[in-house]
Amino acid sequence: MEVSIVGAGLVGCLLACYLARRGHRVTLYERRPDPRERGPDRGRSINLAISRRGIDALSRIGLDGKVLHAALPMAGRMMHGMDGALTFQPYSADRSQAINSIGRADLNRELLEAASAQPGVEVRFGCRLTGLDERTGRLRFASGEEAEAGVVIGADGAYSAVRARLQQLPGVSFSQEYLDYGYKELSIPPQDGRFALDPGALHIWPRGRSMMIALPNQDRSFTCTLFWPHDTLAALDTPQRIRAYFAEHYRDAFGLMPDLVPDFRGNPVGHLVTMRCSPWHAGGGDAVVGLVGDAAHAIVPFYGQGANCGFEDCVELDRCLDEAGDDFPRALELFERRKADTDVIARLALDNFVEMRDKVGSRVFLAGKRLEHALERVLPGYVSRYELISFSTTPYSQVERRVARQRRLAVAAGAALVALGFAARRGRGLVRTPEAD
């Protein structure tokens, strides 16, 4: 089958590999020039965390080893208090699990190489989609060029041009929800050739309404990302205000950021948006059009799952093609079942913002996490929500059901323990009962 994928980002490239493996001929259309011939965009999410779901999807086409080789494992969160005090919170009870910090540009390059190397895949750069007819599969590009394919998949990100066409059709629902927050990237360079912070952790400076995080890079620098309300970002409009604010709120990091002022003033502010669309496919007649990755379900980055979820889309679409005998209209219909999962991770990602910017700094929260890890050690089968999301491939929608079941079991086990303790003390005559009185 002739398939056109719009967008040679992370998900588009991986999907091209999956479809080529099934014997389909794939053309990837990308609006940008070839990223292998130029550097990454300044201040645009330089690294990201890849966890189990992403690794599983990569492993199915033999790319996991290469990608993980270029990654830095982070086994937990390192919280930075206002006074510079550090608290480490492991992601898993036995500290064996880690999420992996990977350069976005390196990952994209790796995936592009893999896609280009597949027989039957062609990648066309400088092709910005501007028009699409979902009934014929006719594509129009900004250059004036046109193309046609029986199957068109939109993997063109949160502001998808393919989805924009579907949104015009009757019966297609769409919503976008912006947070009143922006993100901005800063940098902590190496100190005397070494990492300035522990590279084995994801660093968080929780500050109530806002936060900063930092992920390590292969060159021993850290990329920091501020997640701040727009009014705070706008208020720091002079070098003096920027320095004074960081010296007060991010005291330990301030001394590690020699380029703070030019980075803060020069780097763009990114937006944080959740996009929902339903259905993800349309067409009929001569062609069918579908959506994957951020084009179908852009989410905020606070669970580190956007790319992981998009990679998992490729696995699920592959499974649907298996079930449908490679009949794309039928497979895209089956693929709609994935929405139950993407809706859950969209909600959890929003909830996790409050946890990261505010709760992780509190003693009660940390005690709760320690209790959760203790439960994992004593109750067989008990796994925290974070671990189920990040270190398993349990469908997102089943994670919520399992967490609710586990909580009920933990409460029942706790009540049984209390009752047993009471009975034992009573047996030893340590508890006075009405009969004894």
Total interface residues for ligand FAD by CB under 6 A: 34
326 φ/ψ sector (left φ>0, alpha ψ -120 to 50, else beta): left
Least distance (Å) from ligand FAD to the CB of residue 178? 13
* Cα 3 versus chain centre, distance: 26
For ligand FAD, the binding residues in 96-115 under the rule CB under 6 A are: none
| Location of structure tokens 């040679």 | 8
The contact pattern for ligand FAD, residues 264-303, with x = CB under 6 A and - = no contact, is ------x----------------------xxx-----x--
CA separation for the pair 89, 231 (Å, rounded): 31
Q: Shortest Cβ contact with ligand FAD: which residue?
A: 9
With 0-12 CB in 10 A as exposed, 13-18 as middle and 19+ as buried, what is 115? buried
Q: Of 165 and 369, which has the nearer Cβ to ligand FAD?
A: 165
* Cα 411 versus chain centre, distance: 31
* 216 in contact with ligand FAD (CB under 6 A): no
| Location of structure tokens 């910017």 | 357
Nearest to 286 by CA among 150, 430, 92: 150
Helix then strand then coil, in percent of the chain rounded to 5, is: 45, 25, 30
Least distance (Å) from ligand FAD to the CB of residue 159? 7
* 30 in contact with ligand FAD (CB under 6 A): yes
Least distance (Å) from ligand FAD to the CB of residue 133? 15
CA separation for the pair 72, 274 (Å, rounded): 28
Please check whether residue 151 is in contact with residue 167, taking contact to mean a CB–CB distance below 8 angstroms.
no
* 206 in contact with ligand FAD (CB under 6 A): no
Q: Of 32 and 220, which has the nearer Cβ to ligand FAD?
A: 32
Q: Of 61 and 129, which has the nearer Cβ to ligand FAD?
A: 129
Nearest to 129 by CA among 34, 277, 7, 279: 7
Q: Of 291 and 375, which has the nearer Cβ to ligand FAD?
A: 291
* 212 in contact with ligand FAD (CB under 6 A): no
* 341 in contact with ligand FAD (CB under 6 A): no
Least distance (Å) from ligand FAD to the CB of residue 271? 8
3 φ/ψ sector (left φ>0, alpha ψ -120 to 50, else beta): beta
Q: Of 8 and 121, which has the nearer Cβ to ligand FAD?
A: 8
The contact pattern for ligand FAD, residues 238-257, with x = CB under 6 A and - = no contact, is --------------------
For ligand FAD, the binding residues in 137-156 under the rule CB under 6 A are: 155-156
Q: Of 283 and 304, which has the nearer Cβ to ligand FAD?
A: 304
Least distance (Å) from ligand FAD to the CB of residue 121? 16
Which residues, at least 6 apart from 27, have a Cβ–Cβ distance to it below 8 Å? 2, 3, 4, 5, 121, 122, 123, 124, 147, 149
Please check whether residue 112 is in contact with residue 13, taking contact to mean a CB–CB distance below 8 angstroms.
yes
CA separation for the pair 279, 336 (Å, rounded): 7
Least distance (Å) from ligand FAD to the CB of residue 381? 27
3 state DSSP class of 321: helix
Q: Of 161 and 344, which has the nearer Cβ to ligand FAD?
A: 161
For ligand FAD, the binding residues in 408-427 under the rule CB under 6 A are: none
CA separation for the pair 93, 78 (Å, rounded): 16
Contact with ligand FAD (CB under 6 A) among 307, 345, 383, 388: 307
Which residues of the chain form contacts with ligand FAD (CB under 6 A)?
A: 6-12, 29-32, 45, 48-49, 127-129, 155-157, 161, 183, 225, 270, 293-295, 301, 304-308, 310
